[in-house]
Structure 1
Amino acid sequence: MKKILKYTGLLISIIMLTVSVVFIALLINVRVVPVKYCIIAAVVLVILTAVTAFTQKWFVPGIITKIIAIIMIVVLIMGSIYLNQTRHMINKITTTQEEKIVMGVYVLNDGGYDSVDMLNNKSIGIGTAVDRESTDELIKKMGAGGFMAEYPEYSNIMELADALLQGQIDAAIMKTSSIEMIDEMGDFTGFASDVKLIYSGEFTIKVATTEENVTDNYLSSDDVINVYISGIDSRGGINEVSRSDVNIIMSINKKTHNILMINTPRDYYVPLSISNGVRDKLTHAGVYGIECSRNTLEMLYGIQIDYYVKVNFSGFEKIIDSLGGVDVTLDYSATLSQAGNLTVHNGVNHFNGEQALAFARERYAYSDGDRQRGRNQMMIMEAAIKKACSPAIISNYTSVLSEVSKNVITDMSYDFIADLAQTQLNDMAAWNITQISVTGVGSYSSTTYSMPGWSLYIMVPDEESVENAREQIRDNYN
């Protein structure tokens, strides 16, 4: 019996040593843990393995160390699984340098066309102002099988949509992300349900790397990292170009451990980086790609934005649920009409995913509408970050990783994220977070880059609040 227990103990020791080697190798490979902690973990595991093997000559101590070793083996196996999943998730969401444009052929639901072949020798309208290259690529793709049609041109998507509704053309080629833009126009409400997609093609556009985006014209520092967080609501996937409904800059000072969060309302009336000075709603910049949104905000605040993080809000609900919900402290009470009359109250509010998403989208319940919505979005984001950094995440770790990998992408490199994690683990310093939001006055304008000639709701920037934001950004560099 003693021999069996002894050899069993030695076998357990060998298994523990093997599992320990795998765990330490993964720990080093993932690179989010400082080397000194990896060395400490390796030394502790070697000592435990040696003690387990050595104590097998005695009956009672041998039993005790066997039990401890088995527990450690289970812990190390689970830890190895978590480490491998962490590495996979970071690899999946990082270094995204391409976006997807989906161009589609749209027809009226009651137009009698169910496939693109039925449009042979018919009239298909196209836009000339934007997306012409992708439009031509789609036409080329359609014509590969001998397909032919007339292609009357329209100067903007609103004229193109109007021509389709009026029956002046049989179909229209439009970017899929433009459909909701058209649908929100008063005269075109219901457009998304009046048309259907019968043919599409996907095309990619390159996003400039951090190095390619560097310019000497904007404020930058080795101690400060500026991250643009873009929140989209796309059914087509996280890397598809889409309107950016959430536009938050996080200015992170690694030296002082201060984070400044700046919210810019989606309807802010600003020149886009591609519009040669013509103003447009900030949300429309996203339709031209994440780089346009980032560069537009750089122009507005005079700073270098180093990285972007893109979040798909159609999956945001699942991320919050995987975290077990979030707690948000409010200094007001309100009933959110867009959320089925969800009531929030003064004090701590616990939100599940559905409630958090509704809270982040609500604007009609507030006198300052979109401005309060922006503040709410920053509160939800801060609450999610705090929850993700708390010990409570351990029980839901794998589900959180799964949802994040589906609904978040960034151009940060794996090495950069690993370095940030190591820096935080080295000093374990707390972060001070400050939230601000620029303001403006609601108005209407028919002079926009994306929809010239059509009256759109906009927010005219309050230059004093913009300058105040610039000043606080500069202060965060000190």
Structure 2
Amino acid sequence: MKKEKEKKFNKLNIINILNLIFITLFLVLLLKLNIIPKKYMMIITVSLTIYELLCILLTNLKFKVTRIIGIVLSSLSIIGCGVLSYYLYTGNTFLDKAFDNTKTENTITYYVVTYKDNTASNRNDIKDTVYYVNNDSNIESAVNYLKKYTSSNITLADDVTTLFTMIANKQASFALLSNSSYEILFDNNKDLKRDNYKIVYQFNIKVKNKVSKSTSNNKEKFNIYISGTDFANLSDFNMIVTVNMKTHKILLTSIPRDYYIPVYGTNGIKDNLSFIGVNDIDTRAKSIENYFGINFDYYLKINTSSLVGIVDAVGGIEYCSDQSFTTTHATILNSYDDSKGKKLYIKKGCQHLNGVETLTVARERNAFAGRDRQRQKNCQAIIVDIFDKLKSVNTLTNYTNILDSLSDLYETTLPRDIIERIMKDTIDGANWSFDNQSVDGTDTQDLIHLNSMKGWVMYPMDETIVSAKAKINEILK
């Protein structure tokens, strides 16, 4: 009889031991996540300890009904802590690789282009002179790579537009340029038709990333540079985010993509901001720093094409427009050739958009009189819409898919502890206040892409720069 009681006692306490293990696992993972304020962490720990002691007490009383209640409570705790531990583990794994995750090298794609009816079809057919334009900081690496595989002369040309006109007229045979330069060329020269050319050879080179992990110690007041790049590594979206952790104030300063400012390291050559530092965010960030007279402590580089993944992961967004318009861009990915897809009609009012449709709206500026000014407003509205979906209860059911979508969305020098501090302060009731501003200018045309062609730019208005800088400094006080 005594042995039977001991066996029953041991069996009942196995569930208590399992419960203790799962509660401990949950608390360890929650502590590692480091977003719960100490006072709440203490409350959770004490509450779960009392809960475990209650389960032990109930399962060890001599009454059958109390034992059943104890078993049920322990089982519910094991299931609950097990599920929550899974989500905490997923979140911790994501955060471990999500911050200070700069790449050590970048891959750049280069094309050798010729006229459409040239019989050349691969690398071995490149026999005539190959021309290139010095509008790319990595072009010499591409030239050296190509020299290994062809005996053709590789010669510097003065102007990429003239070069491609000569190729179309069969006055030259081959041009070497990056995929970014290729897209910039056709996007800014409507007289040049893609159908008149073909890519004979395509290759990749790897270059070291000039931006390493941040050495900034500023954790209370700091500037973050946010750059949204497209498939061709052009910066479509530029923003200065100024944060004061003590006052809980955040200032968003938007910079038009066509802003015409001096390029860092070029002795004053000006360029369209979206073309500055293609494949090199460090050059673009330093150009903005010098022009605005500020310092960036961290940067966040977002792949805007990956925006499609997160919008689809949250089930699309509700986008509301104060005007109806048809996009000049097509609903396509990884191309500026809008002849290959359908345009998107946006009605006045609210409508549901999927990922590709959201990206199409985010890219659009030519359909508006205000061009990039209206585009910035649309992007801000899209960001708010995405955050609204991320906060919804339905998003929890798609938690892991959303984290998977986020994993390739960006790279940043932001350390994890800053994000943890923001989340911890928010949970603790901090009232974050957001303000926004935009610098402005005059739309015109000028030399772009390091003086290799003409295109749209925006001459900055000095008074808006002075005003923006003053507001930034006010937040940093």
* Smaller-chain TM-score bracket: 0.7 to 0.9
State how far apart, in whole Å, the 2-side matches of 1:364 and 1:458 are.
Answer: 13
* Structure 1 residues 162 and 413: CA distance shift in structure 2, 3 A: farther
**Residues 439-478 of structure 1: pairs in structure 2 closer than 5 A:** 439-445=440-446, 447-448=447-448, 450-452=450-452, 454-478=453-477
State how far apart, in whole Å, the 2-side matches of 1:364 and 1:449 are.
Answer: 20
Partner secondary structure for residue 248 of structure 1? strand
1:72 aligns with: 77
* Structure 1 residues 5 and 381: CA distance shift in structure 2, 3 A: farther
1:52 aligns with: 55
Deviation at 1:364, TM superposition (A): 3.7
Cα RMSD (Å): 3.1
Give a deviation string over 1:399-423, Cα, whole Å, max 9, x none: 2211111222212123333343334
Deviates more, 1:427-436 or 1:333-342: 333-342
**Residues 260-299 of structure 1: pairs in structure 2 closer than 5 A:** 260-299=251-290
2:96 aligns with: 91
Give a deviation string over 1:159-190, Cα, whole Å, max 9, x none: 55445434344433222222210111224544
Partner of residue 42 from structure 1, selected from 35, 42, 45? 45
* Structure 1 residues 201 and 60: CA distance shift in structure 2, 3 A: same
Partner of residue 107 from structure 1, selected from 113, 118, 121? 113
**Residues 38-437 of structure 1: pairs in structure 2 closer than 5 A:** 38-56=41-59, 57=61, 58-95=63-100, 96-108=102-114, 109-119=116-126, 121-131=127-137, 134-142=138-146, 144=148, 147-187=150-190, 189-191=192-194, 194-196=197-199, 198-209=201-212, 211=214, 223-234=220-231, 242-326=233-317, 332-338=322-328, 340-345=344-349, 351-389=353-391, 393-425=395-427, 427-437=428-438
| 2:113–2:176 CA contact under 8 A, matched in 1 | no
Partner secondary structure for residue 287 of structure 1? coil
2:439 aligns with: 438
2:333 aligns with: none
* Structure 1 residues 169 and 74: CA distance shift in structure 2, 3 A: farther
Q: Give 5+ residue unaligned stretches, structure 2.
A: 329-342
Q: Give 5+ residue unaligned stretches, structure 1.
A: 215-219, 236-241
| Amino acid of the structure 1 residue aligned with 2:117 | D
Ranges of 4+ aligned residues in structure 1 off by more than 6 Å: 1-5
Partner secondary structure for residue 341 of structure 1? strand
Deviation at 1:140, TM superposition (A): 4.2
| Amino acid of the structure 1 residue aligned with 2:136 | V
Deviates more, 1:436-445 or 1:23-32: 23-32
| 2:227–2:302 CA contact under 8 A, matched in 1 | yes
Partner secondary structure for residue 152 of structure 1? strand
Deviation at 1:432, TM superposition (A): 1.7
Deviation at 1:458, TM superposition (A): 1.3
| 2:165–2:192 CA contact under 8 A, matched in 1 | no
| 2:317–2:353 CA contact under 8 A, matched in 1 | yes
State how far apart, in whole Å, the 2-side matches of 1:476 and 1:79 are.
Answer: 38
State how far apart, in whole Å, the 2-side matches of 1:210 and 1:17 are.
Answer: 40
Give a deviation string over 1:326-362, Cα, whole Å, max 9, x none: 45666x33334345211132xx766543443333223
| 2:258–2:456 CA contact under 8 A, matched in 1 | yes
Q: What is the TM-score of this pair, normalised by structure 1?
A: 0.84
| Amino acid of the structure 2 residue aligned with 1:415 | D
Give a deviation string over 1:181-204, Cα, whole Å, max 9, x none: 011122454438833262312212
State how far apart, in whole Å, the 1-side matches of 2:346 and 2:7 are.
Answer: 64
State how far apart, in whole Å, the 1-side matches of 2:377 and 2:53 are.
Answer: 56
Deviates more, 1:273-282 or 1:190-199: 190-199
Give a deviation string over 1:191-227, Cα, whole Å, max 9, x none: 3883326231221232334656x7xxxxx97532222
* Structure 1 residues 188 and 225: CA distance shift in structure 2, 3 A: farther
| 1:360–1:373 CA contact under 8 A, matched in 2 | yes
Give a deviation string over 1:82-128, Cα, whole Å, max 9, x none: 22222332333332054514142323353233321332x44222333
Give a deviation string over 1:144-172, Cα, whole Å, max 9, x none: 5x642211112354455445434344433
Deviates more, 1:264-273 or 1:226-235: 226-235
Give a deviation string over 1:263-286, Cα, whole Å, max 9, x none: 111111111223322221111114
Partner secondary structure for residue 183 of structure 2? helix
* Structure 1 residues 129 and 441: CA distance shift in structure 2, 3 A: closer
Identity of aligned residues (%): 24
Deviation at 1:428, TM superposition (A): 2.6
| Amino acid of the structure 2 residue aligned with 1:436 | Q
Partner secondary structure for residue 305 of structure 2? coil
* Structure 1 residues 13 and 162: CA distance shift in structure 2, 3 A: farther
| Amino acid of the structure 1 residue aligned with 2:450 | S
| 1:258–1:431 CA contact under 8 A, matched in 2 | yes
* Structure 1 residues 342 and 470: CA distance shift in structure 2, 3 A: same
State how far apart, in whole Å, the 1-side matches of 2:14 and 2:476 are.
Answer: 57
Deviation at 1:251, TM superposition (A): 1.3
